[in-house]
Amino acid sequence: MDARITLDDRTFLLVLTGAGVSAESGIPTFRDARGLWESHAVEEVASPEGFDRDPGLVWRFYSERRAAAARCAPNAGHFALVAAEERLGDRFLLATQNVDGLHEAAGSREVAHIHGELFVTRCSDPDCPAAPFRDERCDFPPPLPRCPCGALLRPHVVWFGESPLGFQPVKRRVQSCSLLVVVGSSGTVFPAAGLVREITLRRQWGERVRSLYVGLEAPANAADFDALCLGPSGETLPGLFEVCR
């Protein structure tokens, strides 16, 4: 595949981004952080079991992540995706595994946050009718924050062992797009890592559809892509899309 992609009136583009797209903004990927926070395994502070065990520790972890993300700014990779959305409108869908909010900070309008959002809080009781709400607080002194219903509040982030949020529209779009571009994702976190297989299957049925990976190194599911465009996404993405008007 040509490393430049022409965006025209026939393009239906689905983009999935992972931690790599924010690396050049200064947000460590899972691997850069070596899966650790202080001396805790991330699973210990990013799981329902961890929250049941020590909600104060979990809130301290997410408060630090909020404070760190608030200091970061979007990079050229985020902005290149804004330009693609401006060109394609409804024929563009951006799905992200990132919780950092940098796509919106760059100007992206429609973002499917399949792993939730760092700056949103919700009730920990799944049966509570209270809606998730925007929350930029970065410090949670005791007592822990509670919902009016009495249950503890929790970060609106998908934890280990939980299902992605709002994945249905993404699954629908992978059945109708003409191109899937995955950016900076190690290809190990499912179900997002399985999207590219859908493209392979559609092509086996004779459809004209392509897939491209953009990132620093080949992901675990590299063999499933039609082409790899290796390099930092902040450098690669701005030159990738050729916008035809």
Phi and psi at residue 105, to the nearest 5°: -60, -30
* CA of residue 214 relative to chain centroid, distance: 14
Decide which of Zn ion, ligand NAD, none touches 186; Cβ closer than 5 to 8 Å per partner kind: ligand NAD
Contact pick of 98, 124, 211, 221 for ligand NAD (by CB under 6 A): 98
Q: Which is nearer to ligand NAD, 91 or 97 (CB)?
A: 97
CA angle 22, 18, 203 (to 5 degrees): 140
**115: annotated active-site residue:** yes
Decide which of Zn ion, ligand NAD, none touches 180; Cβ closer than 5 to 8 Å per partner kind: none
Contact string (CB under 6 A) for ligand NAD, positions 139-178, x = contact: ----------------------------------------
- Residue type at position 158: V
| Distance of closest approach, residue 79 Cβ to ligand NAD, in angstroms | 14
Contact pick of 7, 13, 14, 27 for ligand NAD (by CB under 6 A): 27
Q: Which is nearer to ligand NAD, 46 or 209 (CB)?
A: 46
Distances (CA, A) of 171 to 11, 12, 197, 243: 18, 14, 11, 26
Site membership for ligand NAD, residue 109 (CB under 6 A): no
Stretch that binds ligand NAD, among 5-13, 96-104, 139-147, 167-175 (CB under 6 A): 96-104
Site membership for ligand NAD, residue 233 (CB under 6 A): yes
Site membership for ligand NAD, residue 97 (CB under 6 A): yes
Query: Quick one: 184 exposed, middle or buried, by C-beta within 10 A (0-12, 13-18, 19+)?
Result: buried
Q: Which is nearer to ligand NAD, 91 or 102 (CB)?
A: 102
| Distance of closest approach, residue 166 Cβ to ligand NAD, in angstroms | 14
| Distance of closest approach, residue 169 Cβ to ligand NAD, in angstroms | 18
Residues assigned a catalytic role: 115
- Which residues are at the interface with ligand NAD (CB under 6 A)? 18-20, 22-24, 27, 29-31, 97-100, 115, 184-186, 189, 215-217, 219, 232-233
